[in-house]
Amino acid sequence: MSEHPTTSWKSLQDGKGFYRRQQLYSLQGKLPDLGDYVISGCRYGGPLAIMRDNSKLVAIGRAAPAFGKSQIQVYSSAGEGLLLFSWDQSRIIRFGWTLNERLVVLNEEGVYRVYDLQGDYQQYSLGSEASEMGVIDARIYENGLVALTGSLALLEVKGWEGARPMTLANPNLADPPISWSIIPPDSNISRHVEVLLSVENTIYTVDNLESTDQRLSQGPFTHVSPSPNGKLLALLNAAGTLLVISSDFQRRMAEFDTLNVPSAHGNVKQVEWCGNDATLVIWESLAVIVGPFAETLEYYYVGNVFAVTEPDGVRIFGADVCDLIQRVPDSTLSIFRPGSTSPAAILYDAWESFSQRSPKADESIRSIRPELATAVDGCVDAAGQEWEPYWQRRLLNAAKFGQGFLDFYNPTDFITMGQTLKVLNAVRFYEVGIPLTYSQYSYTSPTHLISRLTSRNEHLLALRISTFLSIKPDAVLKHWASAKILKSRPVASGTGKDAELDGDDEVCRLIVDKFKQLGGVDVSYAEIAKRAWEVGRTGLATKLLDHEKRASDQVPLLLSMKEDRLALQKAVDSGDTDLAYQVLLHLHKHLALGSFFRLIEDGGERLAPASRLLQVYAREQDRDMLRDFYYSDDRRVESAVLALDEASRMVDPSGRITTVKSAQKFFSEDKDRSFEAKMMDESARLLALQQQLEAESDGKISFFGQSVNETIRRCIVNGMLKKADKIKSDFKVSDKRFWYTKLHALTEIRDFEGLDAFSRSKRSPIGYEVFVHYLVEKGYKKEAVAYVARCDAPKRADLYAECDEWRMAGKECKDRGDKAKLEQLRKKCPNSLVARELELLVASMK
Partner 1 sequence: MSTEDIQDSEPPLDTNIFKEISKKALVDALNSVNGSKTLVLDPSLAGPLGLVTEVALLKHHGVDKMFWLEAGPLSSNTTNIVYLCRPMIKYVRIISGHIKRHAKESSKHNYTLLLVPRLSSLVSRLLEEEGVLGDITISAYNLQFLPIADDVLSLEYESAFKDIWVDGDESVVYDSAQALITLQKLFGLFPRLLGKGDHAARLINLLTTYLPQTSNPDTLFEPSTIFDSLIVIDRRVDMITPLLTQLTYEGLIDEVIGVRNSHVELPASLVNPPAPQAGVAAAPPPAPTSSTSLRKENRKKYHLTSTDPLFTELRDLNFSNIGKRLNGVAHKLEEDYKRNHSDLHSKTTAQLREVVGRIGGLQSEHQSLRIHTGISELLDPITRTEQFNKSLEIQQNLLASYNVSEQVSSIEEMIAQGADLEMVIRLLCLASITTGGIKAKALENIKRDFLQTYGYNFLPLLLSLAAPSLAILLPNPLPPSTPPEVTAFKYPFVPLRKSLRLLIDDNLEALDEVENDISFVYSGYAPISVRLVQCVAQKGGVLSNPAEKEKTSEQNKGSFGGKVQAHPIVGWKGFEDILATIPGKTVDIMQNAIGAAAPLGAIAQHKVKTTTSVVFFLGGCTYTEIAALRWVARQNRGRNIIIATTGIINGTNIVDGLAGIQKTITGTKDAGI
The distance of closest approach from Cβ of residue 125 to partner 1 in the complex, given in angstroms and rounded to an integer, is 23
Q: Which stretch binds partner 1 (CB under 8 A): 116-124, 238-246, 253-261, 607-615?
A: 607-615
Residue closer to partner 1 by CB (options 150, 705) is: 705
Verify binding: residue 655, partner 1, rule CB under 8 A.
Answer: no
Cis peptide before 220 (omega within 30 of 0): yes
Verify binding: residue 612, partner 1, rule CB under 8 A.
Answer: yes
DSSP letters, 494-535, are: SSHHHHHHHHHHHHHHHHHHHHHHHT-TT--HHHHHHHHHHT
Hey, which residues between 617 and 636 contact partner 1 (CB under 8 A)?
617, 620-621
**Which of 104, 733, 746, 825 lies at the binding interface for partner 1 (CB under 8 A)?**
733
Q: Which stretch binds partner 1 (CB under 8 A): 191-199, 273-281, 373-381, 575-583?
A: 575-583
- Count of residues of this chain found to bind partner 1 when the rule CB under 8 A is applied: 57
Verify binding: residue 167, partner 1, rule CB under 8 A.
Answer: no
**Which of 163, 616, 789, 833 lies at the binding interface for partner 1 (CB under 8 A)?**
616
In angstroms, rounded to a whole number, what is the distance separating the alpha carbons of residues 104 and 94?
Answer: 8
257: left (phi over 0), alpha (psi -120 to 50) or beta: beta
Residue closer to partner 1 by CB (options 656, 796) is: 656
Decide: 803 and 785 in contact? Cβ < 8 Å: yes
The distance of closest approach from Cβ of residue 672 to partner 1 in the complex, given in angstroms and rounded to an integer, is 5
Verify binding: residue 512, partner 1, rule CB under 8 A.
Answer: no
The distance of closest approach from Cβ of residue 835 to partner 1 in the complex, given in angstroms and rounded to an integer, is 22
The distance of closest approach from Cβ of residue 735 to partner 1 in the complex, given in angstroms and rounded to an integer, is 9
The distance of closest approach from Cβ of residue 648 to partner 1 in the complex, given in angstroms and rounded to an integer, is 5
Verify binding: residue 549, partner 1, rule CB under 8 A.
Answer: yes
In angstroms, rounded to a whole number, what is the distance separating the alpha carbons of residues 523 and 526?
Answer: 9
Verify binding: residue 472, partner 1, rule CB under 8 A.
Answer: no
In angstroms, rounded to a whole number, what is the distance separating the alpha carbons of residues 345 and 352?
Answer: 11
Partners of 75 in the beta sheet?
Answer: 48, 81
What 3-state DSSP class applies to 198?
strand
**Which of 615, 639, 659, 662 lies at the binding interface for partner 1 (CB under 8 A)?**
615
Verify binding: residue 776, partner 1, rule CB under 8 A.
Answer: no
Verify binding: residue 574, partner 1, rule CB under 8 A.
Answer: yes
**Which of 353, 577, 632, 658 lies at the binding interface for partner 1 (CB under 8 A)?**
577
Verify binding: residue 641, partner 1, rule CB under 8 A.
Answer: yes
Q: How many helical (H) and strand (E) elements, i.e. helices and strands, does the chain have?
A: 34, 29
Residue closer to partner 1 by CB (options 120, 573) is: 573
The distance of closest approach from Cβ of residue 90 to partner 1 in the complex, given in angstroms and rounded to an integer, is 35
Residue closer to partner 1 by CB (options 53, 546) is: 546
Verify binding: residue 801, partner 1, rule CB under 8 A.
Answer: no
Phi/psi at 435 (nearest 5 deg)? -80, 75
The distance of closest approach from Cβ of residue 522 to partner 1 in the complex, given in angstroms and rounded to an integer, is 9
In angstroms, rounded to a whole number, what is the distance separating the alpha carbons of residues 808 and 811?
Answer: 5
In angstroms, rounded to a whole number, what is the distance separating the alpha carbons of residues 422 and 402?
Answer: 21
Q: Which stretch binds partner 1 (CB under 8 A): 50-58, 212-220, 440-448, 609-617?
A: 609-617
What 3-state DSSP class applies to 21?
strand
756 burial (CB, 10 Å; 0-12 / 13-18 / 19+) is middle
Hey, which residues between 399 and 438 contact partner 1 (CB under 8 A)?
none
The distance of closest approach from Cβ of residue 752 to partner 1 in the complex, given in angstroms and rounded to an integer, is 20
In angstroms, rounded to a whole number, what is the distance separating the alpha carbons of residues 697 and 711?
Answer: 13
Hey, which residues between 582 and 601 contact partner 1 (CB under 8 A)?
582, 585
Verify binding: residue 653, partner 1, rule CB under 8 A.
Answer: no
Verify binding: residue 609, partner 1, rule CB under 8 A.
Answer: yes
**String of b and e for 158-174 (b: at least 16 CB within 10 Å)?**
eebeeeebeebbebebe
**CA angle 401–404–406, rounded 5-degree value:** 125
Residue closer to partner 1 by CB (options 58, 766) is: 766
The distance of closest approach from Cβ of residue 812 to partner 1 in the complex, given in angstroms and rounded to an integer, is 22
The distance of closest approach from Cβ of residue 808 to partner 1 in the complex, given in angstroms and rounded to an integer, is 23
Hey, which residues between 672 and 731 contact partner 1 (CB under 8 A)?
672, 675-676, 679-680, 682-683, 686, 705-710, 731
Verify binding: residue 576, partner 1, rule CB under 8 A.
Answer: yes
Verify binding: residue 277, partner 1, rule CB under 8 A.
Answer: no
Verify binding: residue 777, partner 1, rule CB under 8 A.
Answer: yes
**String of b and e for 58-89 (b: at least 16 CB within 10 Å)?**
eeeeeeeeeeeebebbbbbbbbbebbebebee
In angstroms, rounded to a whole number, what is the distance separating the alpha carbons of residues 392 and 305?
Answer: 30
Residue closer to partner 1 by CB (options 85, 740) is: 740
**Which of 744, 781, 790, 795 lies at the binding interface for partner 1 (CB under 8 A)?**
744
Partners of 217 in the beta sheet?
Answer: none
Q: Which of 410, 413, 401, 412 is nearest to 347 (CA)?
A: 401
Beta-carbon-side half-sphere exposure of residue 204 (alpha carbons within 13 Å): 20
**Alpha carbon distances (Å) from 146 to 229, 258, 678:** 18, 30, 78
Verify binding: residue 748, partner 1, rule CB under 8 A.
Answer: no
**Which of 454, 741, 747, 759 lies at the binding interface for partner 1 (CB under 8 A)?**
741
Decide: 126 and 112 in contact? Cβ < 8 Å: yes
Verify binding: residue 526, partner 1, rule CB under 8 A.
Answer: no
In angstroms, rounded to a whole number, what is the distance separating the alpha carbons of residues 258 and 237?
Answer: 10
What 3-state DSSP class applies to 72?
strand
Q: Which stretch binds partner 1 (CB under 8 A): 343-351, 374-382, 637-645, 718-726?
A: 637-645
Verify binding: residue 813, partner 1, rule CB under 8 A.
Answer: no
The distance of closest approach from Cβ of residue 453 to partner 1 in the complex, given in angstroms and rounded to an integer, is 28
Verify binding: residue 578, partner 1, rule CB under 8 A.
Answer: yes
**CA angle 573–574–580, rounded 5-degree value:** 85
**CA angle 636–640–642, rounded 5-degree value:** 120
Verify binding: residue 8, partner 1, rule CB under 8 A.
Answer: no
The distance of closest approach from Cβ of residue 517 to partner 1 in the complex, given in angstroms and rounded to an integer, is 17
**Alpha carbon distances (Å) from 1 to 128, 177, 446, 808:** 62, 53, 30, 135
**DSSP category for residue 169:** P
**Which of 173, 599, 637, 835 lies at the binding interface for partner 1 (CB under 8 A)?**
637
Q: Which stretch binds partner 1 (CB under 8 A): 236-244, 277-285, 307-315, 668-676?
A: 668-676
**CA angle 266–272–273, rounded 5-degree value:** 140
**String of b and e for 814-827 (b: at least 16 CB within 10 Å)?**
beeebeebbeebbe
Residues that bind partner 1 (CB under 8 A): 521, 549-552, 573-579, 581-582, 585, 608-609, 611-613, 615-617, 620-621, 637, 641, 644-645, 648, 660, 671-672, 675-676, 679-680, 682-683, 686, 705-710, 731, 733-734, 736-737, 740-741, 744, 766, 773, 777
